[in-house]
Structure 1
Amino acid sequence: MDHIRTELLDVAFESGGPRDGRPILLLHGWPDDATAWRGITPVLEREGYRWVGPWLRGFGPTRFHAADTPRDGTGVALARDALDLMDALGWDRCAVVGHDWGGRVAYILATLAPERVSSVTSLAIGYAPRGRFATPLFEQSRRWWYQWFMTTEGGAAAVRDDPDGFARIQWDTWGPTHWFDDAALGAVAGSFRNPDWAAVTLHGYRSRWRPEELDPRYAPLRKAVDATELLLVPTLMIQGGADRCDPPEETEGQERYFPSGYVRVVLDGVGHFPAREAPGAVAGSIIAHLDRASVRPVWDGRPRRGG
């Protein structure tokens, strides 16, 4: 584990691969941590990639410098963290792979700084045009019970009191469970004991569905996301066919938002944590996507001719 300092954070991260390799940023999801990528990073290294996988704000050993920094858990705040990390690493441009929260951050990075993102891979999370969250239909609302639960004061208190137990429910119900045991979940649960995990988690979800105070430093970035519908970066979406949080039907028909190319892969029998459940299939899909993206011209926004 290494640490690097940005304006707001002391960021803990894992890394590997040749120092001069092609850079790739791995952004974990919720409730998870940076160890989620350990099954795929050996493949990235064999293919010559220099990968960095940070613990997001509020997770594991990553810490805020100042007690008075708002614990903003929105995707825009996390995307700014990712850009700050890239700056600290000296990366002008990289591929981005994100799961769950990290997938949402990857989409936002492609919105805010497409010139710095060579490709996007999102695991389990579809794209939300303009960053907007629409109240879903009954079935999906039932799957998202945990989000509504956190908007209540009693629910928020329960999350603060028992972060491990709350996370365990998601791991137990978001897909098949044969791929993990108590030891595996226990190792990740340490990341939920970060003193800011509950605050960042609660803000990230509550701000989707009710008014919450937002860190004003990100106001221009929020405005840019709200004005953007098309993503100009080649994108791969990897979906678990047995995902019981965000099932495949929730991510169908999004090709129109990606004029520079979009591929969607559905993995049969895989739940909400594809990189942990099927690392070989995920790694193979990512490498194929990175190869495609390296030879595909990025759309410049001008109308295409023909076709």
Structure 2
Amino acid sequence: MSKCLQKIAKTAVLELAYEHHGPENGTPVILLHGFPYSPRAYDEIAPPLAAKGYRVIVPYLRGYGPTRFNSPDTLRSGQQAALAQDLLDLMDALRIEQATLCGYDWGGRAACIVAALFPERVRGLVTGDGYNLQDIPHSIQPLDPETEHRFWYQYYFHTPRGVEGLTQNRRALCELLWQLWSPTWARNAERFPLSAPAFENPDFVDVVIHSYRHRFMYAPGDPALEWMEQALEKQPAISVPTISLCGADDGVGPAPEDDEDAHHFTGIYERRVLAGVGHNIPEEAPDETLKALLDLLRR
């Protein structure tokens, strides 16, 4: 297996930490984690890709692990446009003109946004749970009661009590989410301690709280990213070759029988529903995730 190196990419906003596998001159693949996860989600995916000669980049998102903001005055934004801009800035800092992207949850959102708005930068996309762009203008509309129940943590974070709860109990709360979101996965207790240290980042709470407030229009976004948020309001299509991986046992939102996202994809597109898999798709289903990536890379 390849050696993993931890590095820092300096961008205008962040010292963005990432793990690097494989040769510097290999075809780039960027693997993006979600909330509350870490690069450990790709432990069984990055090394095999690197062994095949790919240049594999696994960043710590803003608010996670060693990633740090350059200035104390920067808004600790967790909005979708910030995550996408961080991905673009990382690619620019590493002089990656085009990459194959894989992401789920927050990381899937960043990957989908870049694929939608900057398709020339994306060779292919593996997305967890399909079209991952938030439709913020319509977020105020209530959903069915069962879905609202699954989103309890988001509404909790809208309150001062939720801020204090995440601050005091971040490890226990995040571990509970792992259990609820991957209810049939036998390795939660084994794997969670490997990711938990990434949540000790000093900006973790602020970024998480802002993320869940902004998406419901309860917190303003970064003015510098307003142009991107306005573009996302149009729910732009994704034209790059895409494979969507959906967990049949996802505790956030089990994969529906019908593909409700297909109309958002105008290029080569395939949906794969993974039996017995929850929300933490790459960590629960590394073989299926690796296969999806290789299927795109070999096109």
| TM-score, normalized by the shorter chain, greater than 0.5 | yes
Work out whether residues 19 and 50 of structure 1, in 8 Å CA contact, stay in contact via their aligned partners in 2: yes
1:124 is displaced (CA, Å) by 3.6
The reply to whether residue 17 of structure 1 matches residue 22 of structure 2 is yes
Can you give the 5+ residue segments of structure 2 that lack an aligned partner in the other structure?
A: 1-5
The reply to whether residue 111 of structure 1 matches residue 119 of structure 2 is no
**Residues 1:70 and 1:2: Cα distance change in structure 2 (over 3 Å):** same
Give the counterpart of 1:227 among 225, 234, 242: 234
**How far apart, in 1, do the equivalents of 2:149 and 2:217 lie?**
18
The reply to whether residue 68 of structure 1 matches residue 73 of structure 2 is yes
SS state of the match for residue 298, structure 2? Answer: helix
2:125 aligns with: 120
1:136 is displaced (CA, Å) by 2.4
1:98 is displaced (CA, Å) by 0.7
2:206 aligns with: 199
Give the counterpart of 1:40 among 35, 42, 45: 45
1:111 is displaced (CA, Å) by 2.3
2:3 aligns with: none
Matched ranges for 1:288-307 at <5 A: 288-292=295-299
Moved over 4 A (4+): 129-133
**How far apart, in 1, do the equivalents of 2:262 and 2:217 lie?**
30
1:273 is displaced (CA, Å) by 0.9
**How far apart, in 1, do the equivalents of 2:52 and 2:207 lie?**
35
Work out whether residues 124 and 237 of structure 1, in 8 Å CA contact, stay in contact via their aligned partners in 2: yes
**How far apart, in 2, do the equivalents of 1:272 and 1:154 lie?**
26
Q: Which residue type is aligned with residue 147 of structure 2?
A: Q
1:251 is displaced (CA, Å) by 7.5
1:305 aligns with: none
Instruction: Report the TM-score when normalising by structure 2.
Output: 0.92
1:262 aligns with: 269
1:125 is displaced (CA, Å) by 5.3
**How far apart, in 1, do the equivalents of 2:134 and 2:59 lie?**
26
Work out whether residues 244 and 272 of structure 1, in 8 Å CA contact, stay in contact via their aligned partners in 2: yes
Instruction: Report the TM-score when normalising by structure 1.
Output: 0.90
SS state of the match for residue 188, structure 2? Answer: coil
Cα deviation digits, residues 105-148 of structure 1 (max 9, x gap): 11111122111111111124543475655442111111111111
1:261 is displaced (CA, Å) by 1.8
1:245 is displaced (CA, Å) by 1.1
1:62 is displaced (CA, Å) by 0.3
1:48 is displaced (CA, Å) by 2.5
SS state of the match for residue 181, structure 1? Answer: helix
**Residues 1:267 and 1:189: Cα distance change in structure 2 (over 3 Å):** same
Q: Which residue type is aligned with residue 41 of structure 1?
A: A
1:57 is displaced (CA, Å) by 0.4
Cα deviation digits, residues 225-277 of structure 1 (max 9, x gap): 22343112121111111111121018823212111121111111111112111
Q: Which residue type is aligned with residue 169 of structure 1?
A: L
Work out whether residues 247 and 273 of structure 2, in 8 Å CA contact, stay in contact via their aligned partners in 1: yes
SS state of the match for residue 236, structure 1? Answer: strand
2:222 aligns with: 215
**How far apart, in 1, do the equivalents of 2:98 and 2:63 lie?**
25
Identity across aligned pairs (percent)?
Answer: 35
Q: Which residue type is aligned with residue 153 of structure 2?
A: Y
**Residues 1:129 and 1:72: Cα distance change in structure 2 (over 3 Å):** closer
